[in-house]
């Protein structure tokens, strides 16, 4: 009987060991897959949160950009109106200066003093600058009207 026991002792573990190894391998693979699925679930939650934050930040940037754009329009308008006012001041000063120069020339002619070529050249240069400033101011006023009409349409 001992040979039967010896055969059983050798045969049973030899038959069961591949089954045991297959079961252990499958169990370990299942655990690895479950860990991977759990990790993927965590990553999916993080991706969803990142997408939500990106959407919120995009909305905030869009609102801030619109506000900045409006402020820049306002600043542009203020700068243009200030520059137009400065140009108008130069125009008025040139008109007064040319008027004074003509009075001086008229008074000098009354006492038989002819105007110098420099004085006449200065009057000519002032007249050209006045014409240029008048055209620039007219353009600026027209542009301001267009901007005002656009803003009225936007509102």
What residues make up the domain containing 117?
Answer: 2-154
* pLDDT at 69 > cutoff 80: yes
Entry pTM = 0.53
Q: Roughly what angle, to the nearest 10 degrees, separates helices 2-110 and 117-154?
A: 140
Average of per-residue pLDDT across 90-99: 93
What is the structure's pLDDT at 155? 65
Print burial letters for 29-43: b (CB count within 10 Å at least 16), e (below 16).
eeeeeeeeeeeeeee
Backbone angles phi, psi at 21, to 5 degrees: -65, -40
The contacts of residue 115 (CB under 8 Å, 6+ apart) are 105, 108, 109
Q: Is the pLDDT of residue 108 over 70?
A: yes
State how far the Cα of 102 lies from the Cα of 118, in Å rounded to an integer: 13
Confidence of residue 2 (pLDDT cuts 50, 70, 90): confident
Angle at the Cα of 110 (from 106 to 114), degrees rounded to 5? 70
Count of structural domains, the chain: 1
Q: Which of 144, 82, 72 is nearest to 152 (CA)?
A: 144
> Dihedral, CA atoms, 79, 85, 90, 92, nearest 10 degrees?
170
pLDDT in tens, 5-59: 888 788 888 888 999 999 999 999 999 999 999 999 999 999 999 999 999 999 9
């Amino acid at each position: 009987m001992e040979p039967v026991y010896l055969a059983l002792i050798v045969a049973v573990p030899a038959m069961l060991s591949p089954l045991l190894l297959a079961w252990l391998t499958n169990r370990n693979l299942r655990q690895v897959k479950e860990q991977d699925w759990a990790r993927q679930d965590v990553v999916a939650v993080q991706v969803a949160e990142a997408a939500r934050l990106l959407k919120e930040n995009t909305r905030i940037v869009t609102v801030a950009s619109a506000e900045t754009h409006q402020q820049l329009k306002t600043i542009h308008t203020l700068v243009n109106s200030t520059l137009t006012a400065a140009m108008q001041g130069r125009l008025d000063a040139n008109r007064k200066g040319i008027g004074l120069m003509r009075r001086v020339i008229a008074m000098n002619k009354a006492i038989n003093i002819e105007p110098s070529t420099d004085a006449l050249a200065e009057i000519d240069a002032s007249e050209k600058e006045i014409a240029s400033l008048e055209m620039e101011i007219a353009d600026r006023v027209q542009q301001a009207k267009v901007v005002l009409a656009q803003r009225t349409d936007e509102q």
